[in-house]
A and B are shown apart, each in its own frame.
Chain A
């Protein structure tokens, strides 16, 4: 703070030059970290390629589960809205991206390769590897956007609902989405959609979905955390804690609830796109109520609102069923019993007691 300046009332967020230069430095630091993370991801990818496909599969599935669970945590944990139709958003992301891939990006099927052709031999003359990466990133993004549109559609009518009603309404939406997809023949209907292209050109580093999955999971975690720990983001927690009080403090609960749905649905959609392109096969039955429940169990087990808890629970609940494959027929029974016992004994989950506490706002830290 400049001692020569008069002691006039300052805006809470400092705009003086000193802070700006700190801001620039901070930006460079963050760009550097992002670059390092990217390099680390590539390195991790190389490592992962070395292990057996079975373990690779577990890692990839874990990554997808983490994305789903963390995105659901934004609605259930941070905003306190109980949504049990999350699989519906995943389905929309999955099917949108898969449909585009299948009908416009399949180089192996002449007639179904419009966009890819344009990228490679037609307009842009890009090498196939680069084209595939751009294509998949674009497709995943579009899937996410489609899902977030659905999130908007779901979020707006459910605004006025509380607790149980909201749960049932989201469940209803999830089921509507599933039934509609089931009836659309060009999406495969009940048979499902097969031969979806992969996530990158053959033999390229991006062919293995792991790098995409890891990047998405990381992105989801970072965005989720940043949203909630930001100055405005504390409103999410306020809505969770007491909606009436929040409204009286001037927080538009409408806006924050819908935002939670939209952002959360985006990541669920991207996760769906990843799952679709990894398995190369989609069926509406993969996105039914049971799938939503699986994700809810992850969030509840981890502790609603605790980012570390939810991530941990997502990984545990992906790895554990695999390692206990011998008991796979008991899996759902164990899940349900686990849910009941958890609610009876420790409803805050694994790390609920360390649920997010808001940090000091930026302005307080800058002025210090």
Chain B
């Protein structure tokens, strides 16, 4: 029983990371109907920025919760900027073109970030300096919960709550929801489409960056390709919950994280990566709109 609980805890920790990345996917899809393949790599850049800024500030050997918060913020701001640039440079010129073109471009940006990262950062993995010393909070022979896990969970929840407030209680959030509903109607209502889309990208990137820093707390080995698989899995999580649906992304992330840990723990850890894709195929077969999504009938 305790082992089951342990797996659940691990799963929820991973799930919150997936949820943070999935939120970015779902928001961008809601607003642009585009799957931003490059999103997983923004998660990677977040981790890298965190790594380099920790070293630049001389905090590598100085674990401290305050340092953690600062690095988190630095990473989030840097990636917000990156998200803005990507949208401006690669996606905005293609807004009028076919979705296929945009999809291929997104793949191109993703590859560019990964391989450019390999060139710039070096392909070898780096070790994220410890910002928070990993100490168990609950330490029984069968159940261990570390402070890092709690911090990851709490931070992710705080960010998600902040996002909910932002999207449902602010004017910009309302504008985002309007744009997700209809571009043309929003423009007619006086909403500046370009800035709203930029803000969406920036917020999504900030969340992904936060995910990158959080994951580096418990898995300090980072490399330029670390965003590929989590990015794909987070996309699956977004689809699972209903793409375009914010609570759906959170739910999907949690489900995916727990499912992965369960399969990895009880069945076979080598099939861990396949779980996400099997879930994807299953959900697309039986409920393509996602768990919390509404099936939109195709209008001719």
Contacts and interface: CB of A to CB of B under 8 A. Distances in A.
Given A161-B288, A336-B111, A344 B94 contact: yes
Interface secondary structure of B, over-half rule: helix
A114 interface: no
Contacts of A165: 239, 284, 288
Interface stretch (A102-110, A128-136, A137-145, A175-183): A175-183
Contact of B274 (A160, A163, A164, A179): A179
Interface residues on A, range: 35 or more
A169 B284 contact: yes
Interface string A313-350: 00000000000000001101101111110011001000
A167 interface: yes
A172 B236 contact: yes
Interface string A218-250: 000000000000000000000000001000000
A157 interface: yes
Contact of A175 (B34, B100, B101, B277): B277
Residue of A157, A168, A293 most packed against chain B (CB within 10 A) = A168
A42 interface: no
Interface residues of B, number: 46
Nearest to B286: A157
Contact of A82 (B103, B278, B288): B103
A176 B280 CA distance: 11
Does more than half of chain A's interface fall in helix, strand or loop, or is it mixed?
helix
Contacts of B114: 332
Contacts of A338: 108
B57 interface: no
B271 A183 contact: yes
Contacts of B90: 340, 344
B143 interface: no
What 3 A-B pairs have minimum CB-CB distances, sorted nearest first? A339-B108, A336-B111, A172-B277
Interface of B: 33-35, 90, 93-94, 97-105, 107-112, 114-116, 118-119, 228, 232, 235-236, 239, 268, 270-271, 273-274, 276-278, 280-281, 284-285, 288, 298, 300
Given A160-B288, A340-B105, A340-B108, 20 more contacts: A164-B34, A164-B103, A167-B103, A168-B35, A168-B235, A172-B276, A173-B277, A173-B281, A175-B274, A182-B270, A183-B271, A293-B111, A333-B115, A336-B111, A337-B108, A339-B107, A343-B101, A344-B93, A344-B105, A347-B97
